[in-house]
Structure 1
């Protein structure tokens, strides 16, 4: 079984990755980063990956918006999905899954996790439909969202961070 310190360490890693990604987004917004990207590369084993592809994506306003949206989507997915899975796994293995499922944010986080784990669309089971609407932190998941994409603005940077913090605060309370 995962030790409590490992659980908290994994949550810290997920948090750090999100913050690193936000920092990268900030750096990508700097004009000087484009020159650097056009000249840089990563080498590992027998492979070399040039970053000029990223520089080109960010050089055009049209492709920058899409690239940054997709990057933010990946960050959101990584932080929330990983954190939910880590905490759920620990709660189940430590026989605290009932406490986990009773959290005020649990159903909201579970439905967000399901949405971002698949195709970023809300897909509700009959069980989910019985739970709707679900509100957390002034955000409501309702039946009308069925088969609709999750807009980034629904959570944004702040909501993503706040939902992570809910999971992290809960993890600290687990034995």
Structure 2
């Protein structure tokens, strides 16, 4: 859970840095070396130097962060709960079904694809946000679940894992 949180915060910090002129200058001269590969960052500098391209790139980067923090932390809690015979406790959380449907949506290119099981549970709600059958086949609206909700749901995951799980 701590790694998922750190990765999200590091990504947010990187987003902040990506708008700084000194960072763009540094990126234009930097690269990553691994194995026999050398990946120059000048393409990143050029991409971020154009406002329209930067806005698109940063939105996609933040979307990746959202996917990582929710998907990874949900799976960690689910796997641990399964391994320690605490699945019933997890499934009894008021956010569980909402989080499960969001995790599935995020895993399917941010598009809702309800299974027959999901359809039988809908609507599901959490913190005033409701997922209904009308969203089937639709993209996830950021007004329903965006960066704020991702952080709040992760915080619920973390609190549950730290306090309720043995």
TM-score bin, normalised by smaller chain: over 0.9
The corresponding residue for 1:158 is: 148
TM-score normalized with structure 2 length? 0.95
The corresponding residue for 1:174 is: 165
The corresponding residue for 2:4 is: 14
User: Displacement, 1:32?
Assistant: 2.0
Task: Tell me which of the two structures has the higher relative contact order, counting C-alpha pairs closer than 8 angstroms and 6 or more residues apart.
Answer: 1
Unaligned 5+ segments in structure 1 are: 1-10
Unaligned 5+ segments in structure 2 are: none
Which is richer in helix? 1
User: Displacement, 1:58?
Assistant: 0.8
User: Displacement, 1:156?
Assistant: 2.4
Any residues of structure 2 matched to 1:29-48 within 5 Å, and which?
A: 29-48=19-38
* Aligned partner of 1:93 among 83, 90, 93: 83
TM-score normalized with structure 1 length? 0.90
When residues 132 and 153 of structure 1 are mapped into structure 2, their CA distance, relative to the original with a 3 A threshold, is same
How many residues are aligned here?
165
Are 2:125 and 1:135 aligned? Answer: yes
SS at match of 1:154: coil
* Aligned partner of 1:125 among 111, 115, 122: 115
